[in-house]
Amino acid sequence: MILTAAQIAEVVNGTVEGDNDAQVSTVSKIEQATTASLCFLSNKKYEHHLQTTKASIVIIDDKVTKVPEHLTVIRCSHPYVAFCTILIQYFDYKDPHTGIHPTAVIESTAQIGDNCHIGAHAYIADHVVIGNNSKVYANSCIYENSTIGNNTVIRSNVSVYYQSVIGDDCLIHSGTVIGSDGFGHAPLPDGTYIKIPQIGNVNIGNKVEIGSNTSIDRANMGSTIIGDGVRMDNLVQIAHGVEIGNNTIVAGGVCIAGSAKIGANCIFAGQSGVVGHITVADRTQLGGQAGINKDIKEPGGIFTGSPHLPFKDEMKSRVLWRNLPKLEKRVRELEQQLKQDNKTD
């Protein structure tokens, strides 16, 4: 694949400065570029690489003013988005898999849409409905009465339990389990437990991506709900009855306990956690390892620490914590001084 600066500028609605006929055949980080590379610059931290990069073309915005004379650049309002657009259109992996593999098992009552792929040793159970242009890869299992929308990809070794609903244009990565039982066990007088049946389901909206080895539990009753546009990383645990609003980002290692309600457009950094039965407002941002133990009612807040505090308050607390050994030493010195003063009196 060879692209010229003029072709790229037309796709991203940008303006070429330099050679319209400059060519690229690959994409690279700006600091690792070759003369065949297309790169982008959107973070000021990396701006110094613009002076030394070997790239043929770099996508930048109007904030960048110092451009080497020999370098061809394309100016546009959002360089990272523009770069992603080129990646998707010209360089993204093109899946060659089509059709139904002869070793796949598809029950007679299942409905498979047009132009679908069902991979080797995949299992499609009774009364499953799979929409058009969707793919279920090798060794994945879609169990009874589940529904998969159009243009959705289920990677290898995924288990979708019975009555689950997955919308259109979703991507579920390998090793993920959708609809496993919620963790419900009631204690008995003799110290043992009785399992509480989990008779609800999981309902995943459209344009959702779920990373590998993630678990989303079915509700005890009703539905565990993942809204449209949610992006979920690897190794995430979503417990039974959780509701996550549209376009929320959930990074790796996050755990959300049962029946928590998470708003739209939130960002949860890695290893953050939310206790059960609380509500987190829209546009909330959680720092890494933040622990949320009570409702967050006001939208747009930024929190970190465990138990959580507003970001600025937590940063002030950490300064004090670092000084605790010095403060302790000072208190002990003052105590000794007071004892000496009392003896003198």
Active site residue ranges: 240
Cα separation of 340 and 334, whole Å? 10
Per-residue buried b or exposed e for 101-122, using 16+ beta carbons within 10 Å of the residue's own CB: eeebebeeebebeeebbbbeeb
Tokens read off for 109: 């009552």
Look at the alpha carbons of 295, 300, 306, 309 in this order and tell me if their dihedral is positive or negative. Answer: negative
**79, containing H or E segment:** helix 79-86
CB-CB neighbours of 289 under 10 Å: 14
Cα separation of 214 and 155, whole Å? 13
Tokens read off for 263: 């708003």
Q: How many helices and strands, by DSSP H and E, does the chain display?
A: 4, 40
Residue type for 86, please?
I
In terms of Cα–Cα distance, which of 256, 118, 130 is closest to 182? 256
Residue type for 171, please?
L
Cis preceding-peptide flag for 102 (omega within 30 of 0) = no
Answer whether 15's CB lies under 8 Å from 74's CB: yes
Phi, psi of 100 (to 5 degrees): -110, 125
